Structure 1
Amino acid sequence: MTSHRQPAVFAGHGSPMYALEPNRFTDAWAALGKTLKRPDAILVISAHWVTRGTWVTAMKNPKTIHDFGGFPQALFDIQYPAPGSPALADRVQELLDVPVVLEENEWGIDHGAWSVLKYLYPDADVPVVQLSLDGSISASEHYHLAKQLQPLRDENILILSSGNIVHNLRTIHWQEDAKPYPWAKDFNAFFISMMQANRHEPLIEWEKYGQAAHMSIPTPEHYWPAIYTLALQRDDERANVFVDGIEMSSISMLGFTVQ
């Protein structure tokens, strides 16, 4: 990686409770934050903002969104008061070859973003902009869209994608140290092997991998953010795993960077 280029980061964000209960995954996010050159702003692609079309937050002071239910009040009390960046929102609109809605009122920083950012940048002093996931387009189209964001990395913008490679809520075991399902381990290992071999096409066309893929990705919104980080990889860069593991039997906590 050139000295001035920001890496692109994918974090498996897991349970919202990690924002209250640090563990080895949140420790890895915090450690990563200490190694990163301070960015001028952060562009986040979160699994928790799926829209019709492509939207980007453009407000000066985004609110902290608690987009979940059934958790302790302490989780709803968490605030991540990072400023926004209307200038970055305009730049994203300029780079993308699709219409982009500049969203100034309804969204903000959702838990897919702040649960990780809380550890990466605990002072909430780096401006944050979120880019939505267009729920109507394919993984291949998301990959194409993400490639258009590459210039931002040379403009000191950190691009953080947040989701989970394996994310099957219907098969979760809530107890600690739950044994991973074989299919979850299988697909997680397949993803890592293809990523490290710089073979993106099998990961874009993940459905072709078969039952393990379909069990791991019953809906694609948590998987798509990883496609963004892959697409941001340059020819002179490698993908590096900074944390891995499967929690609650069917949630992959894999995190990786390209740099």
Structure 2
Amino acid sequence: MNALEDNRYTKEWHALAQRFPRPKAILSVSAHWTTRGTAVTAMAAPQTIHDFGGFPQALFDMRYPAPGDPALAARIAALLAPLPLFLDQQWGLDHGTWSVLIKAYPAGDIPVLQLSLDVTQPAGFHFELGGKLSALREEGVMVIGTGNVVHNLRRMDPQSPGYDWAVRFNQAMKQAMLDGDFEAVMNYTDLGQDASLSVPSSEHFLPLLYVLGAKTEEDQLEITTEGMELGAISMMSVVVA
């Protein structure tokens, strides 16, 4: 619904786009493209994917017309070698990507690629890929991860300002990032029940590790927005620059 709404989160996404130089392209790691093995969209014109149900027709009518960049897809394959990278011609841009970018770059005129999440791999694998992708930033490519540090749809409650376990886990991850303790973030399961309730499946958490992995020693880490929605969804945004 953020794609339709004008709220403090969407305003911050728009403000971030104004804060940085216009990127040559954007590589997005979305929670909504999970695979066995790793793939990148490699088509010239990715489709807008409406991978959800039960929402207003206005969301299904939305299109994000960003072009792709097959040459950049090949460059990403070279950076991640010897990891086999499948050059995908079928997926496109799912709502994890376009619902954010439609607020940040509404014209949709910047090339956008998506990298899939190999959910068979441990957290460290995703962090290491982020490190390899960091070179793209020097080439004018923005690397983004879209998901939620806390994401438990089964426990959503419109009346809850935030379950205790969700608030504790979110704060622990925030403090670990601010302290530069990325090992603690990768080992989030050490937090026991707070972790298992906050991250019942890994796909919404893993995109964060690409952002942290892409951080250089010169970068500063900043928390730009925070909020717990429906008791069990964290809207914390993390920027390294």
Normalising by structure 2, what TM-score? 0.98
Q: Specify which of 161, 166, 186 is matched with residue 168 of structure 2.
A: 186
The one-letter amino acid paired with 1:65 is I
User: Letter of the aligned partner of 2:168 in structure 1?
Assistant: D
Q: What is the identity, as a one-letter code, of the residue corresponding to 1:45?
A: V
How many Å separate the matches in 2 of 1:67 and 1:160? 19
**Which of the residues 41, 48, 53 maps onto 2:25?**
41
Identity of aligned residues (%): 47
Q: How does 1:7-156 map to 2 (within 5 A)?
A: 17-97=1-81, 98-104=83-89, 106-156=90-140
The reply on whether 1:202 has 2:187 as its aligned counterpart is: no
Is the 1:44–1:162 Cα contact (8 Å) retained in structure 2? yes
Structure 1 segments (4+ residues) deviating >6 Å: none
Q: Give the Å deviation of 1:123.
A: 0.4
Cα distance between partner residues in 2 of 1:36 and 1:118? 16
- The aligned residue for residue 241 of structure 1 is 223
Letter in 1 for 2:181: R
**Structure 2 counterpart of 1:257:** 239
Counterpart CA distance in 2 for 1:46 and 1:142 is 13
Distance 1:216 1:19 in 2: 24
Q: Distance in 1 between matches of 2:63 and 2:45?
A: 12
* Deviations 1:39-98, CA, capped at 9 Å, x for gaps: 110000000000110000000000000000111111100000000011110111000031
Give secondary structure in 2 for the equivalent of 1:148: helix
Matches within 5 A, 1:219-230: 219-230=201-212
- Larger relative contact order (C-alpha < 8 A, sep ≥ 6)? 1
CA distance in 2, matches of 1:83, 1:197: 38
Whether the 8 Å CA contact 1:196–1:238 is kept in 2: the answer is: no
Distance in 1, Cα, partners of 2:197 & 2:13: 27
Tell me the amino acid that sits aligned with residue 137 of structure 2. R
Counterparts of 2:120 and 2:136 in 1: how far apart (Å)?
25
Query: For residues 144 and 40 of structure 1, what CA distance do their matches in structure 2 show?
Result: 23
Q: Following the alignment from structure 1 to structure 2, what is the Cα–Cα distance between the partners of residues 129 and 58?
A: 7
Aligned-residue Cα RMSD (Å) equals 0.9
Write the distance in 1 (CA, Å) between the matches of 2:145 and 2:74. Answer: 19
Give the total of aligned pairs: 240
